[in-house]
Structure 1
């Protein structure tokens, strides 16, 4: 039991760090190819490796209904979320993108109310949502001159759509509760979404530059496949299944900090006291939202039993 807990804590540390570094890797990768192509190739390779691993171990091919739902979730959480985030980083700093993505729990709470109707809006929950949005507002105040740039606004728009899509996909995942191994199912989600994104990028007229070996591009893809998708997601699932949900969700507060610091140190992205403080305020609001949701779950569980 102690060994399992130790491994779970190690997995939590890995996902907290690696998922924060994927913003930097994506930002570097989109210098050389379109964001949808980068995300599509990443997810396709990761999906082939994961599904291939389970099929070679003798796992049965999922039923059509499960595959169709994995396709929907994959499109919502990886195409419309990860793909759009990667695309957005062609226009906005990776740190800013990570901070906006940190508000996903707020969006999940909103869509859970309409799709599941288990969320009770308490004073703590409403306060947390307002504090989180206030923090994001403070960050945008620091980027007011950039908002005059249509490409910057488009990047913000893509990031907001990605947050909403991830939230809806998360709610659907919980609602459907598919009877399939988490990683095996994730492999199909990655494979489906990767094919859709790669095909979309090709139809848009984009391709991978294959005329020569590009160290930055292929280094980015390698890192995103193995450390972002396979190792990162595997660690997240392991931590989620061996630690309390409230503890496993700690990664969401560490990822933006890692992304902001790496963007500042390596890519010379904008960082000052206003941005740093607004980031902490946003994460504080998200923490309050998560705390309120966990309290709701406990109350809901009590009334159900």
Structure 2
């Protein structure tokens, strides 16, 4: 095995572990810091660090058209995706948020079919979608009584909307050919999203003085910035550039399992037979959809090589 591939596998391990822990960190932080504000600060600081790094390396600020494309994708994936998901964790458990977010590959297939028209809806795709929904239904059944709580219901809806918007943004951005270093582009997206979100939190009053925030919440915020954004996103891009996408996609199955286990171990979140079975069923459905989607993409690549 080459050194480059060894490093790529280490990078994949980093992604699989740390992105699974960000749900726990977000849940801890959102108990003291309003979730949308927590996400805004995370994205703004991460964006400042990444953009400053690339500017010091001699990179130029992109033209207006490129910035606009990055901003549009950032609105869907970061503001509506990450922002709403972090806000949701004021009201729902980290494990439940992670399981809902695990539906992203299923939604990406649906949006690809509706928006790009390059996806065939096969029996396997339909079966995978139905199995994934059955898994989520099994988990929701266990939370049935909690849906009577308006805050829990609101948090669940927020998490679902966030997942839908992230999936929509993923498909939308895939059709935008932006010629820029991927990590630099991600930094610009984070910075733009943070600059939009911070004034919104100030105008709505959904903010706190971080100097007076709880130490645990501040450590959670620092963890999200350093490990959730800077280190792990860099590792993700490195893994994507050195490993087959199908190999890298394994993190989508590890992240929610790790999030559920950590929430149970550290925050005493619910983990019983319904949650365990529902999670397993959901991930089986996600795997079937993901596998079929990638198989179709591979066939198209063979027919239409660049």
In angstroms, what is the RMSD of aligned CA positions? 1.1
Deviation string 1:192-219 (CA, Å, 9 cap, x unpaired) is 1112222111111122234536311210
C-alpha contact (below 8 Å) 1:15/1:233 kept by paired residues: yes
Q: Is 1:78 the counterpart of 2:82 in the alignment?
A: no
Provide the residue aligned with 2:140 in structure 1.
140
Provide the residue aligned with 1:267 in structure 2.
267
Q: Is 1:160 the counterpart of 2:163 in the alignment?
A: no
Q: Is 1:129 the counterpart of 2:139 in the alignment?
A: no
CA distance in 2, matches of 1:13, 1:177: 29
Provide the residue aligned with 1:235 in structure 2.
235
Provide the residue aligned with 2:36 in structure 1.
36
Q: Is 1:184 the counterpart of 2:184 in the alignment?
A: yes
Provide the residue aligned with 1:117 in structure 2.
117
Structure 1 stretch displaced more, 68-77 or 294-303: 294-303
Provide the residue aligned with 1:302 in structure 2.
302
CA distance in 2, matches of 1:70, 1:24: 28
CA distance in 1, matches of 2:65, 2:20: 34
C-alpha contact (below 8 Å) 2:79/2:197 kept by paired residues: yes
CA distance in 1, matches of 2:15, 2:198: 26
Question: What SS does the corresponding residue of 2:33 show, helix, strand or coil?
Answer: coil
Structure 1, unaligned stretches of length 5 or more?
Answer: none
- Ranges of 4+ aligned residues in structure 1 off by more than 6 Å: none
Deviation string 1:75-112 (CA, Å, 9 cap, x unpaired) is 11111000000000011110000000000001100111
C-alpha contact (below 8 Å) 1:98/1:259 kept by paired residues: yes
Deviation at 1:190, TM superposition (A): 0.4
Deviation at 1:46, TM superposition (A): 0.1
Provide the residue aligned with 2:287 in structure 1.
287
Provide the residue aligned with 2:12 in structure 1.
12
CA distance in 1, matches of 2:90, 2:96: 12
CA 1:270 to 1:57, structure 2 compared with 1: closer, same or farther past 3 Å? Answer: same
Provide the residue aligned with 2:212 in structure 1.
212
TM-score, normalised relative to structure 2? 0.97
Deviation at 1:51, TM superposition (A): 0.4
Deviation at 1:304, TM superposition (A): 2.1
TM-score, normalised relative to structure 1? 0.98
Question: What SS does the corresponding residue of 1:254 show, helix, strand or coil?
Answer: helix
CA distance in 2, matches of 1:132, 1:241: 29
Provide the residue aligned with 2:62 in structure 1.
62
Provide the residue aligned with 1:23 in structure 2.
23
Deviation at 1:282, TM superposition (A): 0.4
Question: What SS does the corresponding residue of 1:207 show, helix, strand or coil?
Answer: coil
Provide the residue aligned with 1:193 in structure 2.
193
Structure 1 stretch displaced more, 219-228 or 291-300: 291-300
CA distance in 2, matches of 1:240, 1:211: 38
C-alpha contact (below 8 Å) 1:33/1:209 kept by paired residues: no
Question: What SS does the corresponding residue of 1:203 show, helix, strand or coil?
Answer: helix
Question: What SS does the corresponding residue of 2:198 show, helix, strand or coil?
Answer: helix
Structure 2, unaligned stretches of length 5 or more?
Answer: none
Deviation at 1:122, TM superposition (A): 1.0
Paired residues, number:
305
CA distance in 2, matches of 1:247, 1:213: 40
